[in-house]
Amino acid sequence: MTCQLSVVVPTPAHSTLGGPLSYRSEFPLAPGTLVRVPLGRRELLGVVWDPEAQFDNAAPEYELKPIAGVLDGIAPLTARWRELVSFAASYYQRGLGEVALMALPPQLRGLSAEQVARRMKRTAGPAPATAGQIAAAPTPEQAAALDAFEAGTGCFLLFGATGSGKTEVYLQAVQRLFEREPQAQALVMVPEINLTPQLEERFVARFGAADVVSLHSGMTHPQRLKSWLAAHSGAARVVLGTRMAVFASMPGLKLIVVDEEHDPSYKQQEGARYSARDLAVYRGRLEGAKVLLGSATPSLESWQACEKGRYTRLVMPSRIGQAQLPKVRLVDMNLQPHKTVFSPQLLDAVSQRIARGEQSLVFLNRRGYAPVLACTACDWKSECPNCSAFRVFHKIDRTLRCHHCGFTERVPRACPLCGNVDIAPVGRGTERLEESLAQLLAGTRRPGGEPVRIARMDADTTRLKGSLEVQLAQVHAGEVDVLVGTQMITKGHDFRRITLVAALNADSALFSADFRAPERLFGLLMQAAGRAGRDAIQSGSSEMWVQTFHPTHPLFAALRQHDYPAFAAQQLKEREQAGMPPFGFQALVRADARTQEGAQAFLAAAAAAAAGIEAADRVMLYSPVPMSVQRVANVERAQMLVESASRAALQRFLAAWHPVLQATREKGMIRWAVDVDPLAI
């Protein structure tokens, strides 16, 4: 007997083959089974899909290709997992096979049945119970939050001050789940890879190494495969991961935790542009699992969902023990001499911390030595030849490096245009900031008389494997007096010795054209402030310093009071008046072409052809415009905003518009993509 199967494979994003393909099998296979199938000259990994997803169950007029093999040792992916993938592909306007295969570990695609069987043996059966660290008694606020979480259903937002012990709430929520259901699984998500090691350490200490696995893009292919198999088989009870972990196959999933749920890193920016936080909420409904979103500065979407009663808000306003939130001090840079980098007041405060043996954190969200190198005699600047952006000067290796396309050159000895040897850095990055601080603090001594120790932590210094862990260990051990870095050091880290946090150049987002910029800035500053004073003994003297040219801005007034609810209320009022998310819904269509004219012409033609399609009368299409960085790697980029007051109407429009976009593509176009619920416009 010959069976016809529907199989999803990773077809190209812009091909017309977005759904399952039909193949022949000598025996029936359950939906969710992993198979190998031929496609063109290649053999690909595919997933058997539900029969109703077939194009035609009748006998085809052409000869179907047979499947090439079955990965027998791996249990089929569940119906709920397939439903999650189907929803993500539909909502974010991507191919079904693209999303399904993106969610599977890459190494799975090249394994034989025998290799699969060997790897499954290593993860077979549930992990034995291991004696873990005994949990400390929860604080009254933690206990109240846990009790409310246990008693309720659906999605919860844990609104807790930095240092209030949200991680302990996550740990105890997982522990209570396992006590009720020993075979249950929990998914715990963090926004960035650098937060995974410290969280993994705490979960392993509580539940044992056999029960906890990680899933993130920083792992090797064999590591990811091992973790995925452990989760898929149920051997791993806790999966820790970044946004990609939302698609982890976990047949016993009963609890999903999304830490720092406001973080933009949960939104994928390439390929399938999905929001892992939003998919986590959807998956919770599918699986009948509780979802716990945690943040000291929640996204306005989640805050509004609580206001409307769709989520349950749990509040923990106090820090653990007697620890206090830091005092916020604003330095009016209008009163400082021109080109002042560190105000004398801030420098004195940092020096006092060093003399007392305390640590300070200084963050500037710009890596490199200087954002641009310029000639003092002519108009030459270190522009990238491939992008409409400047190459950043990195002094440590004397290079000019484009942070968009990666193009790197040695710093020229003289100006390429006029030959002037006096070319100088303009602006300041973390590398130059580190150098400036070393000079300014050269005469400062630690309590034992030793010179000050300054460290820098950004994408450049943590590039090598293991370097992040080494640097974090040095900070925790007190081997660093002043830590300089980008926003990666302001998120989630439990630095016990830091009593002063300073934010430089915080004004850049205040008057941005992006309506989300104030929300991101306030969240970043609040999170940064949360790194100070986490030790109760030192918290009374902890401070957050902000150097600004706009000290009377309402954002800073809310920051001084640590008053997120007031800030959220003001922002939501403005957005409601403007019809912006979460009161309206958006999508961006991005186009890449050989020329800017070609990219915009494609978008204009697609907009003109959209007039007669479903729900077009309920959707607003704006004119095409260049992207903020309009050329990257010699590819011109343009975008067009699509808005609607109805999410359902926007989705119907986008689904009907997709074939139009396919048909509109012309010569010179490289690619196009739809970004639903964009975070940056």
Total residue count of the chain as it appears in this document: 681
Among candidate residues 88, 518, 491, the one with its CA nearest the CA of residue 278: 88
Among candidate residues 506, 492, 591, the one with its CA nearest the CA of residue 544: 506
Q: Would the annotation count 387 as a binding residue?
A: yes
Q: Would the annotation count 415 as a binding residue?
A: yes
Q: Would the annotation count 402 as a binding residue?
A: yes
Pairing of strands 543-548, 498-503: parallel
Long-range contacts of 318-322, Cβ-Cβ distance < 8 Å, separation of 24 or more: 318/139, 318/141, 318/161, 318/164, 319/161, 319/162, 319/163, 319/164, 319/533, 319/534, 319/536, 319/539, 320/139, 320/163, 320/164, 320/165, 320/536, 321/536, 322/536, 322/539
Distance separating alpha carbons of residues 418 and 399, to the nearest angstrom = 20
Residue type, 530: G
Structure tokens at 302: 């989640």
Distance separating alpha carbons of residues 219 and 617, to the nearest angstrom = 47
Contact 100, 85 (CB under 8 A): yes
Q: Where are the alpha helices (DSSP H) in 412-540?
A: 430-440, 467-476, 517-529
Among candidate residues 496, 437, 433, the one with its CA nearest the CA of residue 461: 433
Distance separating alpha carbons of residues 593 and 20, to the nearest angstrom = 29
Q: Would the annotation count 375 as a binding residue?
A: yes
Three-state SS at 616:
helix
Distance separating alpha carbons of residues 630 and 163, to the nearest angstrom = 41
Distances (CA, A) of 460 to 429, 457, 467: 12, 8, 10
Contact 373, 411 (CB under 8 A): yes
Contact 329, 421 (CB under 8 A): no
Say what the alpha-carbon torsion angle 589, 594, 598, 602 is, to the nearest 10 degrees.
-30
Contact 444, 402 (CB under 8 A): no
Query: DSSP label at 193?
Result: G
Distance separating alpha carbons of residues 49 and 29, to the nearest angstrom = 10
Structure tokens at 221: 């292919």
Residue that has been written with the tokens 């007031």 in this structure: 566
Q: Would the annotation count 405 as a binding residue?
A: yes
Sign of torsion, CA 560 564 569 571? positive
- How many distinct helices (H) and strands (E) make up the chain? 17, 28
CA end-to-end distance (rounded Å), the chain: 55
Longest CA span, the chain = 86
Cis peptide before 582 (omega within 30 of 0): yes
For residue 7, the cross-strand partners are 21, 48
Residue type, 473: A
Three-state SS at 123:
coil
Distance separating alpha carbons of residues 423 and 392, to the nearest angstrom = 14
Distances (CA, A) of 516 to 144, 572, 597: 33, 11, 28
Contact 325, 529 (CB under 8 A): yes
Structure tokens at 104: 């599977």
**Phi and psi at residue 402, to the nearest 5°:** -85, 125
Burial of 547 (0-12, 13-18, 19+ CB in 10 A): buried
Q: Would the annotation count 155 as a binding residue?
A: no
For residue 241, the cross-strand partners are 189, 215
Binding-site entries: 375, 378, 384, 387, 402, 405, 415, 418
Binding-site entries for Zn(2+): 375, 378, 384, 387, 402, 405, 415, 418
